[in-house]
Amino acid sequence: MIAELVKQADLMGLTGSESFRRRPIHWLIDLDQDGKVLGFTSTSAATVSSKGGSLGERRGKRFSIPANYLLGSPNQHNWRPDFLTGPADEILLQGVDGINPAPKKRRAFWELVVRAKQALPKNNTLRSIWRFLRTKRRLTALPLSDSTRNNIDCFKKRQNADGETLGFRVGGRLAAQDQELHDWWKIAEFPKIHARQTAEFIEPGTDAFQQGSGRITGSSPCVFGNVPLVSFNNAPFSSFGLGEQTARLRLDTVEKAAAALNALRQDDNTSLNLGDEKAVFWAIQDNRLLDCSFITLLEAKDPLAVADYLKSIWGSMPRELDRASFHVAILLEGTGRFSVRSWNSGFLGDVDRRLRDYFEAIRLPTGRPVNLGAMARSTIQKTKKGSKTTPSNLTYNAIFEAAWRGMPLPFRLLESPVARQRIELAKGRAEADNGECESRLRARTALIKFYFYSKHPNEPTHPDRNMNEITHQNQDHPAYLCGRVLALMDKIHNAAHGKSTASSPAGRYYGSASSTPALVFPRLCKLARIHLEKIENKGWAYNLDRDLTGLISKFSAQASWPRTLSLEAQGRFAIGFYYERAPKGDEPTSVESQPTDDSKQS
């Protein structure tokens, strides 16, 4: 992985010791030339859809800012501030609310500003910022919005946990874009910092990742903000006669690898969140970087984006591009050690074909597309607002690996959604659900479909790979038919009562109907006859009766209702249930408003 990251850095033109790097600034303090505050505003990187479908803003727009050089060492605290940006507690004298928990870091930030002020005494931008720092002692003295002021504790937690930072804008221009300050940092200050931190690494040597020789390092540049890429305090292997060994690494090797990794994880086109972990990926062909942003469609919530990808000409690329190298690393983001959970390589053309198969496998007839995160969340209990319960990283990884590598989904990812289906349908659908119950039902159905699809990667005609709206009417598996019958009985019940109720067959009997059909369906058939007689729209009642009779007739005369259903059969039951209950073009939109059509009974 290190060798591929070094190659990626070379292609991106990164050395790892750049004086300016793209980092997020979450809040901007607007100042005039005299240091008076004109405003305090948040920045937004993009408008995104949350898991519930509502639009929101992803906070923190990225700017090219004077970023410090962090060289992690296990026995040395070498923290240094970025120039003119940082958390409120590291910039303002009294932090957010008058209690500054980071006096040493705040002192280091001010000392850096003082050095710049001494070097550039006539710089107006720096003069304005210095006057502001001397007069505004705490964040609450700024013109905060009512929502920010009322949630000041939340602000403090975000700046510490999420690394939210402040920046300055003087006279409508970002302070970091002041040409004089820019040149001072790039030419005068940053080279000193870099030289001072790397001066101890003077032993020449070689490593296994680059040709030639360079300075051997015992420390590493940081990733994820402040986590060293490589730890040298524990030996990774031991050898007889040689004792414990630590792999030799050149300083420029780890600088490039850290720079490439940071660039990949900060780019939305080359990274994907998988719960507490993050996947980074890239493709190379003949020393050229190729676009592989279609991987991010695994989390897409826009149906048009997925449709455009499936209609694109990607699959008809020249053969040489079809064999382009594709690399994926799954990383654990945290404040401790840097951790690689998995590392895999393949060919870009194979990944493209597998993802097209994946989208075909999880395709459902109506509604928003189901993304990877929704499927993972559908395997656990529905979380309440503010709850920290999340799916395991193993669940995210299993779906991700199955999607791009064509790996079969583990059996537990059939067991979990089937169990959640039985529990949640038994509770009934709440009217104030805002569609969340239906969204989770879609996600579980998509995951169950993907499980069957992934079991037969080289059998395109296998019936388990083709359970969809096209083959729906022709499916003859008893479990699938049982699911269809329950969904149809649910429609009959709701048509008779005018709306969906918690006492519908699906709400009361889904669990037993999907596991022991022979014990439940004879009684449900009797209830269905009663409900059909109550439906006022006789034409619609006739259609429902005809469909129910036709479905039941598909069971063989020797063994009508199955006595028990295995877990895989319960998965087929769930798919048949979903497709049968999906709206069809000939259904009335409002049962009460439909005219009676007695002629259809002849």
Q: What is the pLDDT of residue 447?
A: 96
Those residues of the chain that have pLDDT short of 50 are 49-55, 74-75, 430-432, 558, 589-602
Q: By residue range, what is the domain housing residue 440?
A: 294-319+347-455
Same domain? For 430 and 480 the reply is no
> Do 103 and 29 share a domain, yes or no?
yes
Question: Could you tell me if 485 and 451 lie in one domain?
Answer: no
Rounded Cα distance between 472 and 447, Å, is 17
* 401 and 472 belong to one structural domain: no
In a domain, 331, yes or no: no
The pLDDT assigned to 599 comes to: 36
- Same domain (yes/no): 444, 490: no
Quote the pLDDT of residue 592. 39
| Same domain for 109 and 42 | yes
The answer to whether residue 247 sits within a structural domain is no
- Domain annotation covers residue 5: no
- Separation CA 150–CA 364 (nearest Å): 43
How far from 480 is each of 416, 460, 546, 575, CA to CA, in Å? 19, 20, 19, 7
Contact yes or no for 68/83 (Cβ under 8 A): yes
Assess if residue 246 is contained within a domain: no
3-state secondary structure 452-501: HHHHCCCCCCCHHHCCCCCCHHHCCCHHHHHHHHHHHHHHHHHHHHCCCC
User: Domain for residue 282, yes or no?
Assistant: no
Query: Domain tally for the chain?
Result: 3
User: 549 and 434: one domain?
Assistant: no
Quote the pLDDT of residue 313: 59
Residues 494 and 432 in one domain: no
Q: Are residues 353 and 488 in the same domain?
A: no
| Same domain as 506, residue 594 | yes
Q: Which two tokens stand for residue 140?
A: 């609450």
Q: What angle do CA 135, 138, 142 make, to 5 degrees?
A: 80
Last residue of a domain, one of 408, 425, 455: 455
Last residue of a domain, one of 134, 164, 198: 198
478 and 382 within one domain: no
pLDDT confidence of residue 385:
60
User: What pLDDT does 48 receive?
Assistant: 53
Residues 43, 164 share a domain = yes
In a domain, 186, yes or no: yes
Would you give the distance in Å from CA 541 to the centre of its chain?
Answer: 45
Domain membership flag for residue 60: yes
In a domain, 218, yes or no: no
Last residue of a domain, one of 455, 477, 499: 455
Residue 134 neighbours by CB under 8 Å, 6+ apart: none
